[in-house]
Amino acid sequence: MGRRAIIVVLDGLGAGNAPDAADFGDEGANTLANTAKAVGGLDAPNLQALGLGNVEPIEGIPRAHRPRASHGLMVELSAAKATLAGHWEMMGLVLDDPLPTYPDGFPEDVLARFEDETGRGVIGNRPASGTEIIEELGAAQDKTGAWILYTSADSVFQVAANTDIIPLEELYDACRKAHKMLIGEGKIMVERVIARPFHGSSGSYERENENRHDYGITPPSETYMDLIKNAGHEVVAVGKIRDIFDGKGITDHLPGQPDDDAKVNAILESLDRIESGLVFANLVDFDAKYGHRRDPRGMAENIKRFDDRLPGLLDALTGEDLLIITADHGNDPTFRGTDHTRERVPLLVVGAGEPRDLGVRTGFSDVGASVGAWVGVEKRGLPGESFA
């Protein structure tokens, strides 16, 4: 049996105080600390025992006298506070230039071509919360059959459709056409095209998160995932990892629907059957259900749910396993707006020798360098310094 590495990304669970937070308008954002303050303290004894309270003062999570995990923080180098940028940087791709965003909506020529190629009109076309714009424009879509188009502070083209009105496959086909138009013809205009299906009627619409599909950019060069896969190891993507990397460098995909608990189950399933390689998981509920919706109570409860699963995850590890728990950006549920926040991210590492203080790491690529070193592949010029 070879060595295995497991990366669990708690999507959006930042730890504040990024050195360039002011450049992003995010001074004061701190997902963990501000969530804890808003609810009167977090309940996460297993994360506390690993050393989460040793990296940042968090109400309810005191410093551990003898942390069970190596612990530290990471500062992002990429010029973005987006899911794709954070995950790509972990795997050795740093985005020096931010991808285009559309605070005033997409240009008229983009709308005209999308309408022409899909045969439907467009309503919306502005930055918005997905749940809010569906409630606002759902009835109009029911009446006209037009796509609900929206974006965010991220570089995304999101298309929402009531599957009681527009078939799911037609939504997917429209998003594939948008992907070709905005990403596949040489000029990259967005990071991702996202299909956002929902169903129901006005006042009671429900998003079909299990049928969401992201159409992203293919990584332009080799990543640590490619190195691990090409060396003959497994690379299992759990959750939206496959979409983030457009399937590149992956041997298997487990969607882990419908929630983060199911994704933890998928991680455990992978550990039951793979002998060597990487399990890379994204737990999206922190971000999608609680950060963007500015719900600190829900965020705290999801932290507790993950904490309750930690003992089972730790018990599944062998002496040849490396477990990394981290985040890709912040999404402070107490902060203004509804978008991601520029923050440092926590880093907890089990299995890299005696627990120690890892300090503040410059760049997320130390994650990829560490898992690559752990399973025994050469860096081949990729950035990052291993802490394993």
Torsion of CA 364, 365, 371, 372, to 10 degrees: 180
Give CA–CA dist 113/289, Å, rounded: 32
- Whether 11 has a binding-site annotation, put simply, is yes
Q: Given the structure tokens 């999308």, which residue do they identify?
A: 114
316: tokens are 């599944």
- Whether 292 has a binding-site annotation, put simply, is yes
Give CA–CA dist 166/229, Å, rounded: 39
Q: What residue ranges in the chain does DSSP mark as E strands? A: 4-10, 70-75, 122-127, 147-151, 156-162, 192-199, 206-207, 213-216, 234-238, 252-254, 277-283, 321-326, 345-350, 357-362
Give CA–CA dist 162/139, Å, rounded: 10
Pairing of strands 70-75, 206-207: unpaired
Asked if the peptide bond before residue 258 counts as cis, ω within 30 degrees of 0, the response is yes
- DSSP conformation letters of 53-119: GGTS-BTTBPPPSS-SSEEEEEE--SS--SHHHHHHHHTT---SSPPP--TT---HHHHHHHHHHHT
**To 10 degrees, what angle do helices 296-315 and 260-273 make?**
20
DSSP-based three-state secondary structure for 305: helix
- Whether 142 has a binding-site annotation, put simply, is no
Q: Which residues contact 97 (CB under 8 A, 6 or more apart)?
A: 79
- Whether 65 has a binding-site annotation, put simply, is no
CA distances from 71 to 8, 19, 127 (A): 14, 19, 36
- Whether 199 has a binding-site annotation, put simply, is no
- Whether 340 has a binding-site annotation, put simply, is yes
- The annotated binding site is made up of 11, 287, 292, 328-329, 340
- The annotated binding site for Mn(2+) is made up of 11, 287, 292, 328-329, 340
